[in-house]
Amino acid sequence: MNGPSTAESRRLSVIVFTDIVGYSRMVQNDEALALELLTEHNRILAHRIDAHGGRTIKTAGDSFMAAFGSAASAVTATAEIQQALTERNASQSED
């Protein structure tokens, strides 16, 4: 048999995609604040993704795409991201 076996050529990847709800509206209302929040959002995500062995594939506008080598790592990272964003948002006003 030439080349790698089927088992050797397969690799599990779990893709995580995020998007900020209402971001376009935020940009229209206060572009500077929206960009500040986006920077903070991306920092929170990148930290958790890196901490769990994921890698950022692409960011575009308010979307973020990352890949993980295991479902457990992806779930743990995204749960931590949700918790961090929830805690961050709880201390802020609706505005």
Q: What is the mean pLDDT of the chain?
A: 89
Chain-centroid distance, C-alpha 93: 23
pLDDT of 3 above 60: no
pTM for the whole structure: 0.79
Q: Which residues share a beta bridge with 68?
A: 14
Q: What is the pLDDT of residues 47-80, one digit of tens each?
A: 999 999 999 999 998 999 999 999 999 999 999 9
Q: What is the pLDDT of residues 8-19, one digit of tens each?
A: 677 789 999 999
Residue 24: both structure tokens together: 């376009």
* Three-state SS sequence of 12-45: CCEEEEEECCCHHHHHHHCHHHHHHHHHHHHHHH
pLDDT of 2 above 70: no
| End-to-end CA gap in the chain | 64
